[in-house]
Amino acid sequence: MSLVEAPDVRPVRSFSARFLRSELRMIFGRRRNQAMLVVLAAVPILIAIAVRVTTRSNGRGDGGSAIFNSITDNGIFVALAAMVVIIPLFLPLVVAVVSGDCIAGEANSGTLRYLLTVPVGRTRLLAAKYAGIVVWCVVTTAIVALAGVLIGLILFPHGQVTLLSGTSTSLADGLWRLLLVVGYVSVMACAVGAIGLFVSTLTEVPIAAMATTLVLTITSEVLDQIPQLHSIAPWLPSHYWLKFDDLLRDPILYTNTTRGPLVSLVYIAVFVSLAWSRFSGKDVTS
């Protein structure tokens, strides 16, 4: 009597660290993405050099202008000034490129069908894809902050940090507030990543997904500037992007710094759900 061995059927897990590592290697291993990281890191360096070689007023204003004017007082403001520069366009661009490519790029190259026949559950695949986007958002923001702090502390004074409210605090507290800013901006970027993930499930042309995601974020910024639409402005994904300056006051103003992440989390929940709904029933033929 012969024995027929049963096939090794393994349950499909909802998430896999190994699959996430593979996704991260693909994201950070691409020359295009590496070049974008270099460009982002160069932004605070260029700002620091420009401020160093030019004469700037020491007067303080509100928001972004106050941050720039504070660079000569303490070098960590270079990182904060760089955030002001990258948030309106550079950050949405680099997030749109990665998120728009995550599903559409696989479909366009023909690898998506093979991924799904491993087998890899679609929910598991989508979870790993978005987790990779989240890591990308955090890393891009952290690189800007780290480059800004390093060049800022080299070229400018460091020690007591004068906050935007005019009070002074320790360098350690200033760095802690910068870390809060990195977290805040990362959450904003993750909302753009969720939009890009959904758009990426709608097409097999990665360039179209990238462009659509970027256009949607720019449209949000434009709508936010129209006074007649001020009633819907608090619900636009870009409305709270630059409100991180409230973390640099004493005491911290929690109204905007709480609402901003909450609105972003709503966008993340909605668009990740839409992406799952679309992707779970998508007919993958390429």
Cβ contacts of 54 within 8 Å, gap of 6 or more: none
pLDDT bucket at 22, cuts 50 / 70 / 90:
confident
Q: How confident is the model at residue 221 (pLDDT cuts 50, 70, 90)?
A: very high
pLDDT digits (tens, 9 = 90+) for 60-110: 444 457 899 899 899 999 999 999 999 999 999 999 999 999 988 887 776
**C-beta of residue 188 within 8 angstroms of C-beta of residue 71:** no
pLDDT of residue 11: 46
What percentage of the chain exceeds 70 in pLDDT? 85
Could you tell me if 98 and 136 are in contact, meaning their C-beta atoms sit under 8 angstroms apart? Answer: yes
Q: What is the mean pLDDT of the chain?
A: 87
Cβ distance 280 to 122 under 8 Å? yes
* Contact of 121 with 14, CB cutoff 8 Å: yes
Provide φ and ψ at 169, rounded to 5°: -145, 175
Average of per-residue pLDDT across 234-243: 94
Query: In this structure, how many other beta carbons lie within 10 angstroms of the beta carbon of residue 225?
Result: 10
The answer to whether residues 92 and 217 touch, using CB atoms and an 8 Å cutoff, is yes
Number of domains in the chain: 1
* Domain encompassing residue 273: 17-280
Q: Please give the pLDDT value at position 10.
A: 44
- Residue percentage of the chain with pLDDT more than 90: 70
pLDDT at position 14 over 90: no
Residues 70 and 148: their CA atoms lie apart, in Å, by: 13
pTM: 0.88
Q: How many CB atoms lie within 10 A of CB 230?
A: 12
Note whether residue 139 is domain-resident.
yes
CA angle 69, 141, 48 (to 5 degrees): 35
Q: How confident is the model at residue 15 (pLDDT cuts 50, 70, 90)?
A: low
Question: Can you read off the two tokens belonging to residue 84?
Answer: 């002001």
First vs last C-alpha separation in the chain: 44
Please report the pLDDT score of residue 279 as a whole number: 85
Within-domain flag for 126: yes
> Of 177, 184, 179, 187, whose CA–CA distance to 248 is shortest?
177
Q: Specify the 3-state DSSP secondary structure of 72.
A: coil
In the numeric block, which tokens belong to residue 215?
């256009």
Domain membership of residue 3 (yes or no) is: no
pLDDT at 2 (0 to 100): 40
Paired residues of 161 in beta bridges: 169
Q: What are the tens digits of pLDDT across the range 243-277?
A: 999 999 999 999 999 999 999 999 999 999 999 99
Distance CA(155)–CA(162), nearest Å, equals 17
In a domain, 8, yes or no: no
What local confidence, expressed as pLDDT, does residue 275 receive? 95
Give CA angle at 20 (16, 22), nearest 5°.
Answer: 115
Amino acid at position 35, single letter: A
CA distance 100 to 202: 10
- In this structure, is residue 6 part of a structural domain? no
What pLDDT was estimated at residue 159?
86
Residue 106 has a pLDDT of 80
pLDDT at site 111: 66
Query: Given this model, what pLDDT does residue 118 score?
Result: 57
Residues 112/286, Cβ–Cβ less than 8 Å: yes
Distance in angstroms (rounded) separating the CA atoms of residues 242 and 221: 11
pLDDT digits (tens, 9 = 90+) for 153-185: 999 988 899 999 999 999 999 999 999 999 999
- The per-residue pLDDT for 16 is 63
Higher confidence at residue 47 or residue 18?
A: 47
Q: What are the start-end ranges of the E strands in 141-232?
A: 161-162, 168-169
Is 2 contained in some domain? no
pLDDT the model gives residue 251? 92
